[in-house]
Structure 1
C-alpha cells in the first residue's frame, strides 16, 4: 500500500472513530429519529443528482437501506440517547464482525473456521464483561440496543454479499434516499410533532455541524475513500484498519467528552479487540507460521 493510501486509510479511521463523539453532540439538540432523518436526507441530496444509480434490483436496494442504514442507526442513535457512551458504542458496534460471520453461516452456509470461533468466544467474553457493568457509565438498554445496531449492520453485510460487486458509493448514496421516511415516521410517532418543530426551530450551529459531519464526512467521504481502497487492494490489506476505529472512538470520547471506563470495562474492551484481531489477522498469522515451518 502506498504512503498516500495509508494516509487515506487513516483519514477514514479518524472520521469514523470521531463519528461517535459527533453523534453524542448531535443528540444534545436533536432527538435520535429526527437526527437519523436529517443525516440520510443530506447524504442523499444533492449527491443523488451526481452519482449514478447502481445496477441493483429495488428489493436489494431497500434491503440494504433498511438494515445497514435505517436499522443500524435507529438502534445506535437511540442507544446513545439513552446513555450508551460514545467510546463504548464505537467498540461494541464492532460485534457486527461476529454477527456477520454467524449470519453468513446461517443464511449463506459459509463455514465457521476454528480461528473465527476462538475470536468469537474471546470477544463474547469481553462483551459480557462490558454488559455486566451496566450501572457504570452506561445503561443496560443502551448496551443492548448497540448490539441490535451491530446485528442490523451485519444483516446489511449479508445483503451486500448477495448484491455482489457494485459501486459502493452509488449504493450508499441511492440507499440514503430510503431511510428518511421511516426515520420521520418514527420521529412523528415517538418524539411527536411538537418536539420535531421545537428541535428544528431552535437548532444551533453545533447541531448543524454534527449533522453535516455525519452526512458528508462520516457517510459520503468515509465510504468513498474506503471503497477506493477496497478497489485497489485486497480486503485482507484494508480490513485491519477497521480495528483502529474503536481505538480512535475510545480516545476521542476520553479527550473530547471526558468519558471514563471502569477497570472491568477496559478489560472487556481489551478482550473484544483481541477477538477482532484473532478474526481479522488469524489467517495471516497462520500463513506466516506455516512458511516458517516449511
Structure 2
C-alpha cells in the first residue's frame, strides 16, 4: 500500500523527529562513556554485536548486491568505529569532536560530485567552505589544539563514513534493516579479533561490566540505528525530503551543547565561532539539498553515529 506524502506534520511526526534529534545528539556521549568503560575496539565490537542481534531477523543474502554491501559493512561497521572510538579515547574535549563529526555532510556532498557526477550551485559550495572553515577555526583555540590528534582521527572516521554512505546510496533497493544487519556483522568480524588481541583485559572484564556501562552501549546501538535510522525511514515514507531533512538540524546542536554540559567542557570563543561556522555550513547544505533533490528511499538515509 502506498502512503500519500504530505508536508503537514502531525504531533506524532514531531515526536519522532524529536526522538531522532535527541538520540543522534546524545550518541557521542554514549560512545565516549562506552569507550571509557571498556576500550575502543571492545566497545565498537559490542555495539555492533547489539546492532547485529537486533537486526538479525532481517539478515539475508542479497544476490547481485553483495560486493557494495560487503564494502559498506567493512567501512561503516568496523573501520569508521576504529577511528571514532580511538579519537574519543584520546580526546577530552568531546564538544570539539562533535563539531568535527559534522564534516560528514560536506564530505558526502564532495564525494557525490567526484564519483556520481552531481552538480552543486554556489550556496552549497559556500556551505562546504563554511563547514570546513569552522573546524579550522577550532585549532586556534589552545585547548582544542591539544586535541588535534583526536580531531584528525574524528575527521578521518567521518570521511570513512561518508564513503560508506556513498555506497549505501547504491543500495537503495535493499531494505534498511538488512543493510544494518550486515553492518553489524562487519563490525563484529572486523573489531572482535582486534579487541581480543589488543584489549584482552577489557574483554576479560566484560562479565563484570556494570549495567550502566552496558546501558550506554545499548543506547548507542538502539538510538543511532533503530530510533534514528528507523525514524528517518518512517518520516520519509510519509513526507517529502524537503520537509524531513530540516527536522534533523537540531541533532548537531544537541551534540555540542550536551557534551559540553555532560563533560564540563568550557565553550571558548574560538569553539563557539568554529561551531557556528560549521553548523551554518551544514544548515545551508541540508536546506539546499532538501530543496534540490527528490525523496530518497529509506536506505539512502544515514547519519554518522
TM-score for the superposition, normalised by structure 1: 0.88
Structure 2 counterpart of 1:64? 72
Q: Paired residues, what number?
A: 283
CA distance in 2, matches of 1:30, 1:206: 12
CA distance in 1, matches of 2:168, 2:58: 19
Structure 1 counterpart of 2:124? 116
1:192-229: per-residue Cα shift (whole Å, max 9, x none)? Answer: x23432x3244222211111111223222222112111
Structure 2 counterpart of 1:236? 242
Structure 2 counterpart of 1:74? 82
Taking structure 1 as reference, are residues 131 and 167 closer, same or farther at Cα in structure 2, changes over 3 Å only? farther
Structure 2 counterpart of 1:53? 60
CA distance in 1, matches of 2:31, 2:266: 18
CA distance in 2, matches of 1:152, 1:178: 14
Q: Specify which of 266, 270, 273 is matched with residue 276 of structure 2.
A: 270
Work out whether 1:260 is the aligned partner of 2:266. Answer: yes
CA distance in 2, matches of 1:257, 1:137: 18
**Corresponding residue SS for 2:36:** coil
CA distance in 2, matches of 1:183, 1:255: 31
Tell whether the 8 Å contact from 1:90 to 1:245 is kept in structure 2 after alignment. no
Structure 2 counterpart of 1:196? 203
Tell whether the 8 Å contact from 1:137 to 1:260 is kept in structure 2 after alignment. no
Correspondence list, 1:102-113, <5 A: 102-113=110-121
Which blocks of at least 5 consecutive residues in structure 1 are unaligned?
287-294
Correspondence list, 1:46-195, <5 A: 46-48=54-56, 50-51=57-58, 53=60, 55=62, 57-83=65-91, 85-133=93-141, 135-136=143-144, 139-191=147-199, 193-195=200-202
**Corresponding residue SS for 1:163:** coil
Taking structure 1 as reference, are residues 163 and 265 closer, same or farther at Cα in structure 2, changes over 3 Å only? same
CA distance in 2, matches of 1:179, 1:42: 10
CA distance in 2, matches of 1:130, 1:143: 9
Which blocks of at least 5 consecutive residues in structure 2 are unaligned?
1-8, 293-305
- TM superposition outliers: structure 1 runs of 4+ over 6 Å: 283-286
Shift of 1:124: 1.6
CA distance in 1, matches of 2:215, 2:107: 32
Taking structure 1 as reference, are residues 124 and 186 closer, same or farther at Cα in structure 2, changes over 3 Å only? same
Tell whether the 8 Å contact from 1:15 to 1:222 is kept in structure 2 after alignment. yes
CA distance in 2, matches of 1:85, 1:230: 34
CA distance in 2, matches of 1:167, 1:285: 25
